[in-house]
Amino acid sequence: MEYVNYLLMALFVLFIVNRFMPIKGVRNISTAELKNELKDKHKSFIDVRTAGECNGNHIRGFKNIPLHQLAEKAEKEFSKEKEVIVICQSGMRSQKASKLLKKLGYTKVTNVKGGMNAWF
């Protein structure tokens, strides 16, 4: 029985570590670095927060596609040839979105660490 508890604990730790590990092939930038990236017209910008969150405050140039709609809309809205920069409120959803975009075949994906919380 004790063996099962250790196994469950190990699986839980592995799950937590996996959630917070950087995604292979995804660049992470700070909001200070983002300010320079916004000038580049050859990049796509996605805000994966809900529409209500974006209405409250947003960064000009970012297209709002909530995370739950990203898989169905990404290929219609964004070229896989361009770098895609993703933001959310805290950096967690954008990290999930970055992982999803990599699975969809996007090769140049950038996550904004800290999200909108770090923007101000």
Specify if 73 maps to a domain.
yes
Task: Supply the range of the domain harboring residue 84.
Answer: 26-119
Model confidence at 52: pLDDT above 90: yes
Q: What is the mean pLDDT of residues 17-45?
A: 84
Which CATH number belongs to the domain containing residue 45 in this structure?
3.40.250.10
The catalytic position among 70, 84, 87, 88 is: 88
* Per-residue pLDDT, 85: 97
Number of compact structural domains in the chain? 1
Say which range, 3-12, 31-40, 41-50, 86-95, has the weakest mean pLDDT: 3-12
Q: How much is the pTM? A: 0.81
How high is the mean pLDDT of the chain? 89
Domain assignment of residue 49, yes or no: yes
Which pLDDT score, from 0 to 100, does residue 21 have? 58
- 82-to-16, 69, 114, 120 alpha-carbon distances in Å: 31, 20, 23, 27
Helices 67-77, 92-103: axis angle to 10 degrees equals: 40
CA-to-CA distance for 21 and 82, rounded, in angstroms? 24
80 located within any domain: yes
Whether residue 5 is contained in a domain is answered as: no
Reply yes or no on whether the pLDDT at 18 is more than 80. Answer: no
Q: How far apart are CA 19 and CA 52, in angstroms?
A: 26
Residue 69 counted as domain residue = yes
Does residue 102 fall inside a structural domain? yes
- pLDDT(23) > 80: no
15 located within any domain: no
Which pLDDT belongs to residue 86? 98
- The answer to whether 88 is a known catalytic residue is yes
The confidence band for 16, taking pLDDT boundaries of 50, 70 and 90, is low
Residue 56 to residue 44: CA distance in whole angstroms: 21
Q: Is 115 left (phi over 0), alpha (psi -120 to 50) or beta?
A: left
- Please indicate, yes or no, if residue 1 is contained in any of the structural domains: no
CA–CA gap between residue 97 and residue 70 (Å, rounded): 7
